[in-house]
A and B are shown apart, each in its own frame.
Chain A
């Protein structure tokens, strides 16, 4: 069911006339949220951006689920990255200590290895992700959209009532 839902959303996003920049923006924010989790204050501005800026929410949801899963699998690596930045780079200790004594900042939980690792990873991936997804959508629409829509599997899937219902979910997500 979840897999079908995701597939439906994906197909819908890819073939719709939505601006690729909106899809890429949504995907990027979703990726960042997925890697960061909601247990940090860093998630708040990202959520606000998702709600207030014109980005594609369906793309954000797909990216969020996808990167949440990736973050789960890569948990030990993200933890190691965070530990390295927080502990092993002793030159940064003064900076971390300074911001830890500021107001509000501690609620970001930046001193948690997973949050720090996720933050670094998401910031590093943000621009390549935005740019890559945008290029991918444009490339897909120009070269492959018609071919894919003629695939028997896609036609069969689109013929099912369930798929039509699931694909309709995207309407709730704005553009």
Chain B
């Protein structure tokens, strides 16, 4: 036993206790901030964290969670919060909180500093749930199909050249690449054609067949050796034939692929055309497209945010629920944690009840609770639920409820939102260029629900705005054109109520997005009155320009395909014909030998019969002589 060691140990323990009282809070604050920031993808900041290791309590004065998409704004922030950790689970390295009060919760507050994470410390991108990615992709594609209306077209100020330059057609480049790849492919085919039996091989077959002179076959041995030679020629010819057949089959397969490529080429042109229309701001004029033009952009922007949150919820809830993870290669020095969970034990992390109070935008007082924020729902057999209610003077209010259930094979998340008496004053109704005015009057009710179960996603939104009045006191710059302005004013005068419904559904590969509003027909008929002719002219010019640009290279590729294919096809067919001819000649020769053998056989039989007859007569005479001599 080392005495100095004992003294050293006591000193160290004393220092640890002293340092603990000074440093632990800051250390813990940094750890929590780092963990939260990594999870959030932007800064999470805590002020005045106080941890009492003896009292097992944790509190802070303020929590700010920056919005990763707008780092100068907080997703939310809280005022003072306090929680008590239970001792028994803590001894097992598990964090259990019975009650957690989160006060002064506020959303969308401005930040004093940028909430972006420093370079190199950005959050590791987590693999988003595949179904969320798929919904997002489909929704974006759907929205892109319907560009916003370009008022320039209506005013006759459409600048074709700038649209043309901005579009940068992709098809010519793609065609050039295709041409290169085709040239290479045909080179490969030419090489492969060398494996076809050549003239020399076929001539050798012919020689061997000709060397058999049937009329000279005189003995059975000669006939046998001719048959053997014929058999060998047949085997060779059949081998060549199989090679040609194989090459021919592969070639036909390639031709089918090429036919697909030609169809794809048409798709490229269509893509370019759609992009040009989108840049030009020339939407298709239909009821469906008008609904998307009116509310599609806004709806998709909001859904994007919702999907991003849903993706995170789904990914994390699956990740924490996993018992034995797949083997990873973690960064050096970190290793991989494998969780061993006993069903009757505490989960690693569990806040049983979280009470929330705060304020939403417009001074709406919020109150609510979140139950069972837990790292493993299966262990407690309870889902995470949340409920938030907001009230404001004048009857306005909101209610938000949610359920996150990761217990089963099919995870289930469900959220419902109801907002009533929402003031629309000062807001714009849509991004549609003919309705750019802010509203001077109007209230709205919004009902929204999202149901995400397994890989089935369903979102529904109903918006109802009533008492709507547009502030048209100032004429917007974009409506300088007198005719457009009149059209726009006529439109707003007809609108005093808006009913909009949106549905987004994905089930497996089936995707559906349906947007409707009571304004669709109204806007469509107004537009059709004034713009259909201008639209048609611009569309025709775009089509003709595309044809000028793409026609020549496309014809070149088509000619290349036709020319090379026909040359290769002729080669294959020619070789096949020659081999078949030799096979036919082999059969013919065989028949000739058979005939010759038959004739020889016939001849022999006759000779034998004649001989037998002759021998028979002789034997008869002898027998008669013998009998006569016996009876004499």
Contact = CB atoms under 8 A, between A and B. Distances in A.
Interface string B87-128: 000011110000000000000000000000000000000000
A83 B336 CA distance: 8
Interface stretch (B4-12, B140-148, B228-236, B587-595): B4-12
Interface in A100-114: 100-107, 109, 111-114
A48 interface: yes
Nearest to B343: A97
Q: Which of B93, B336, B340 is the most central at the interface, judged by chain A CB atoms within 10 Å of its CB?
A: B340
A97 B341 CA distance: 6
A101 B340 CA distance: 8
A111 B327 contact: no
A120 to B, nearest CB: 13
Given A53-B1, A101-B342, A76 B335 contact: no
A144 interface: no
A114 B335 contact: yes
Interface residues of B, number: 27
Contact of B9 (A51, A79, A111): A51
Interface string B503-543: 00000000000000000000000000000000000000000
B324 interface: yes
Nearest to A109: B337
B340 A93 contact: yes
B55 interface: no
Contacts of A96: 338, 340
B332 interface: yes
Interface string A74-108: 01100100110011000001001110111111110
27 contacts: A51-B5, A52-B2, A52-B5, A52-B9, A54-B1, A54-B2, A72-B333, A75-B332, A75-B333, A82-B335, A83-B327, A83-B336, A86-B338, A87-B324, A97-B342, A98-B342, A100-B339, A100-B341, A100-B342, A101-B342, A106-B92, A106-B94, A111-B338, A112-B337, A113-B336, A114-B336, A117-B335
Given A51-B8, A107-B93, A100 B340 contact: yes
Given A51-B5, A52-B1, A52-B5, A97 B332 contact: no
B330 interface: yes
Interface string B1-25: 1101110110000000000000000
A145 interface: no
B200 interface: no
Contacts of B474: none
A96 B330 CA distance: 21
A174 interface: yes
B334 interface: yes
Nearest to B7: A51
A105 B92 CA distance: 7
Contacts of B92: 101-106
A7 to B, nearest CB: 26
A115 interface: yes
Contact of A87 (B94, B327, B330, B345): B327
A97 B340 CA distance: 5
Given A72-B332, A106-B92, A111 B4 contact: no
Nearest to A49: B5
B336 A79 contact: yes
Interface of A: 37, 48, 51-54, 72, 75-76, 79, 82-83, 86-87, 93, 96-98, 100-107, 109, 111-115, 117, 174
B616 to A, nearest CB: 95
Q: Which 4 A-B pairs have the closest CB atoms?
A: A114-B335, A106-B93, A100-B340, A51-B5
B350 to A, nearest CB: 15
Given A87-B327, A114-B335, A52 B6 contact: yes
Given A76-B329, A97-B341, 20 more contacts: A51-B2, A51-B9, A52-B5, A52-B9, A53-B1, A72-B333, A75-B333, A79-B329, A82-B336, A86-B338, A87-B327, A96-B338, A98-B342, A100-B339, A107-B93, A112-B335, A112-B336, A112-B338, A114-B335, A174-B2
Given A86-B338, A97-B341, A103 B91 contact: yes
Contacts of A103: 91-92
Interface in B1-60: 1-2, 4-6, 8-9
A110 to B, nearest CB: 9
A93 B92 CA distance: 18
A113 B335 contact: yes
Contacts of B5: 51-53
Contacts of A104: 91-92
Contacts of A114: 333-336
A115 to B, nearest CB: 6
Contacts of A98: 342
Contacts of B330: 79, 113
A111 B337 CA distance: 6
Nearest to B342: A101
Contacts of B9: 48, 51-52
Nearest to A72: B332
A136 to B, nearest CB: 24
A113 B335 CA distance: 5
Nearest to B91: A103
Contacts of A101: 92, 342, 345
Contacts of B345: 101
A29 B8 CA distance: 18
Nearest to B5: A51
B4 A174 contact: yes
B330 to A, nearest CB: 7
A93 to B, nearest CB: 7
A155 to B, nearest CB: 34
B411 to A, nearest CB: 24
A100 B168 CA distance: 61
A72 B334 CA distance: 11
Contacts of A51: 2, 5-6, 8-9
Contacts of B4: 174
B96 to A, nearest CB: 14
